[in-house]
Amino acid sequence: MGEDQVKANVPEEEELSEEKISEQRKIRREKLKALQEAGRNPFVHEKWNVTAHSKDIKDNFEAMEDQEVSIAGRMMSRRIMGKAAFFDIQDKQGRIQCYIKRDEVGEEEYKWFKADDIGDIFGIEGVVFKTNHGEISVRVTKLVLLSKSLQVLPNKFQGLKDQDLRYRQRYVDLIMNEEVREMFVKRAKAIREIKRVLEEDYGYLEVDTPILVNIAGGANARPFATHHNTLDLDMKLRISNELNLKRLIVGGLDRVYEMGKMFRNEGMDRNHNPEFTSMECYMAYGNMEDTMDVTEQIVYNAAMKINGSPIIKYQGKEFDTTPPWRRLNMADAVKEITGVDFDKIDTDEEARKVALEKGMDPDEVKNWTRGKIIAEMFEEFCEDVPGYLDQPTFVIGHPVEVSPLSKRDPEDPRITRRFEAYINGWEIANAFSELNDPIDQYERFVAQQHQLDAGIDDEAHPMDLDFVNALEVGLPPTGGLGVGIDRVLMLVCNAPTIRDIILFPTMKPLEKKEKKEEEE
């Protein structure tokens, strides 16, 4: 059996200690210096003409056998066998084996190749062939070192397993873990599909609105604060883009959407990151039921695109996204879970008494209205009931007190034409038949501002007089929808936490983390 017919088997490497890693880094810098002194500085190269990628070569081997190709990527493993070597190159599609022989590239080039390191990036020209073991490979005719890796990659067999380090060094995580690369390819495909549904199926126009704002409105959340030096102006990062998008509806852009980053200065957990991706869309002359349809189609089509099925399989559970989804009234849910029937409770005093009987915080309850208590009891007692909100569900009947931007229900003015969509017990979307009565909107803003000023609710909605002015110009009947894209993609892509679906999640600086651990 010839050398070119041998299938490379990379032996397991021993784990490098910190001292050995430091020594390896020193050696790599010395190798770089030697390359530069020999006129082979890898960092002078600006491009490489790539004509093929790993998966394309493998998928089309019959057509590409014996053809010359030009590939590029990172060396991930290598086995040197005297005058020849096998090594794996990783590109954007995966890995492909390469075979290099001293007699074919020349003694000088082969000598330099043997001194190269795992992690180095190469441009390669060669011929496609298959070994006797059936491995589709590239026989190297030309090899150029395009970039020298001065760091030591994690051990091939142990991988990069420290979860905290994976998030901090996502670039290494992407190199070492194929499933992570695939996760973010899926994310991109799902986002593209969501945009396609909005634009092609519903006729929405994509727009951009400011991230830096004077008033952080459109949601109940604490904003991040910043300062504009030139204008000497305190500003905030947006918590929602709702009010600006509705201003565009006033201006005659009848269907608009924006997908982008929102920023909320709040807690972090499995489902929350302070910087997250949201999609909001607004439909003139549409209502809450129309936005339900949009929500169903967004999630259904994303699931079909990524998994080829409307069934989402998430962490051992299954959710069927096929429309139509279940409808559940908030007060009915509270009655079903707690036994409290708010149809028989008309006053704030009665509602507070029931809330106290259920063990809710007296200091908070004393400031709450009947509607606020319904919403709080739903959140406290219903949201976390195992399985209760697992299958796709629209929760409707939100009280006016917690819905300052949505239209009142004409049959019961104490509640609004609003829904929240749930899957797996998570809220994934929030939508309204939008409030377009400027007088009602002003009065609700006044009530919300009072909550802020009195310190009762630091997440209450601030007054926005310019938005009230826009409503006075005239907002047509409008259906609005906001979708938490990261949560939807967690489900569709089976990501355990929100950090697994965000390329660079918010992390505490390493020095602060280490100091806290020392103190503990």
- The pLDDT of residue 9 is above 50: no
Sequence-separated (6 or more) residues with CB below 8 Å from residue 392:
296, 299, 319, 320, 321, 325, 326, 421, 422, 423
E strands along 368-512, which residues?
393-396, 408-409, 412-416, 418-423, 426-433, 478-484
Q: What is the pLDDT of residue 154?
A: 86
Q: What is the pLDDT of residue 159?
A: 56
Q: How far is CA 239 from CA 58, 224, 277, in A?
A: 46, 9, 11
Sequence-separated (6 or more) residues with CB below 8 Å from residue 181:
174
Closest alpha carbon to 379 in 429, 410, 337: 337
Query: Using CA atoms, how far apart are residues 153 and 169, in angstroms rounded to an integer?
Result: 11
Report the sign of the C-alpha dihedral through residues 394, 400, 405, 406, in that order: positive
Query: Using CA atoms, how far apart are residues 428 and 325, in angstroms rounded to an integer?
Result: 13
Q: What is the pLDDT of residue 15?
A: 55
pLDDT (tens digit per residue) in 39-67: 999 999 999 999 999 999 999 999 999 99
pLDDT (tens digit per residue) in 343-390: 999 999 999 999 999 999 999 999 999 999 999 999 999 999 999 999
Q: Is the pTM of this model over 0.95?
A: no
Query: Residues of the chain with pLDDT > 90: what percent?
Result: 85
Mean pLDDT (whole number) for 280-296: 98
Q: What is the pLDDT of residue 440?
A: 92
Q: What is the pLDDT of residue 165?
A: 87
- The pLDDT of residue 10 is above 70: no
**DSSP character string of 184-238:** HHHHHHHHHHHHHIIIIIT--EE----SEESS--SSSSPPPEEEETTTTEEEEE-
- The pLDDT of residue 299 is above 90: yes
Helices and strands in the chain, H and E counts: 18, 20
**What are the tokens at 411?**
């049959």
* Helices marked H in 46-86: 54-59, 61-64
Q: At what angle do helices 242-250 and 465-474 cross, to 10 degrees?
A: 30
